[in-house]
C-alpha cells in the first residue's frame, strides 16, 4: 500500500456522493435501532437533541475513516485489500466506540447492545456497498457493450465504403 500522489481531488469528489449516502444510511439505521429498542422494551421513545447529536457524530465517525482510507491508500494486491478492510474496520470501531463512550449520558460504557448495534450497522453498510458495486459493474458492462456496438457499426460502414 502506498499513498496516492495524484488525482486526490477527483477521488474525493467521486467518493463524496456514496459517503453522504452511507452517512444517511447509518444515521437512519441508528435512529430505527433506537426506536426499535424502545419499542421492544415498552419504553417511550423520544429523540432528544442530545441523542440526535450523538447519532450524527457516531454516523460521521462510522463513515469518515472509510473515505479517508479510500482516498489516501492505494491497493495493488488482494492482500492490500484485506489490510485496508481490516484497517477500516478497526479504525471505524475505535472511533465509533470512542464517540459513544464520550457522548454516553448514562455512564454505562460499551455494552453488548452497543457492540451488536455497531456490527449490525457495519454489516448494513458493507451490504449496501457490495450491492452498489454490483450495480456499477453491470452499468459499466452495459456501457462498454453499447460503445462496442457503435464502434462496430462505424467500422462496418468504413469497411463497406472502402470495398470496390
Give the residue extent of every domain in the chain: 2-162
Beta pairing partners, 73: 3
Torsion of CA 125, 123, 110, 107, to 10 degrees: 40
Distance CA 24, CA 62 (A): 11
> CA–CA distance from 67 to each of 2, 14, 91, 118, 157 (Å)?
16, 10, 12, 18, 46
> CA–CA distance from 58 to each of 15, 37, 126 (Å)?
19, 17, 17
Per-residue pLDDT tens over the stretch 30-85: 888 888 888 888 888 777 788 888 888 888 888 888 777 776 777 777 777 778 88
Query: What is the rounded average pLDDT for all residues in the chain?
Result: 76
Per-residue pLDDT tens over the stretch 133-156: 677 677 778 878 888 888 787 777
Amino acid at each position: 500500500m502506498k499513498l496516492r500522489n495524484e488525482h486526490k481531488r477527483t477521488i474525493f469528489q467521486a467518493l463524496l456522493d456514496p459517503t453522504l449516502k452511507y452517512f444517511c444510511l447509518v444515521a437512519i439505521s441508528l435512529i430505527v435501532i433506537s426506536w426499535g429498542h424502545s419499542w421492544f422494551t415498552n419504553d417511550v421513545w423520544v429523540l432528544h437533541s442530545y441523542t440526535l447529536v450523538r447519532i450524527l457524530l457516531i454516523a460521521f465517525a462510522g463513515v469518515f475513516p472509510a473515505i479517508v482510507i479510500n482516498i489516501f491508500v492505494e491497493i495493488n494486491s488482494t492482500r492490500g485489500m484485506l489490510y485496508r478492510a481490516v484497517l477500516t474496520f478497526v479504525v471505524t470501531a475505535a472511533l465509533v466506540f470512542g464517540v459513544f463512550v464520550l457522548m454516553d449520558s448514562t455512564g454505562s460504557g460499551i455494552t453488548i447492545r452497543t457492540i451488536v448495534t455497531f456490527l449490525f450497522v457495519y454489516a448494513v453498510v458493507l451490504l449496501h456497498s457490495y450491492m452498489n458495486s454490483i450495480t456499477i459493474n453491470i452499468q459499466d458492462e452495459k456501457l462498454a457493450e453499447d460503445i462496442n456496438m457503435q464502434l462496430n457499426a462505424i467500422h462496418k460502414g468504413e469497411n463497406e465504403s472502402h470495398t470496390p
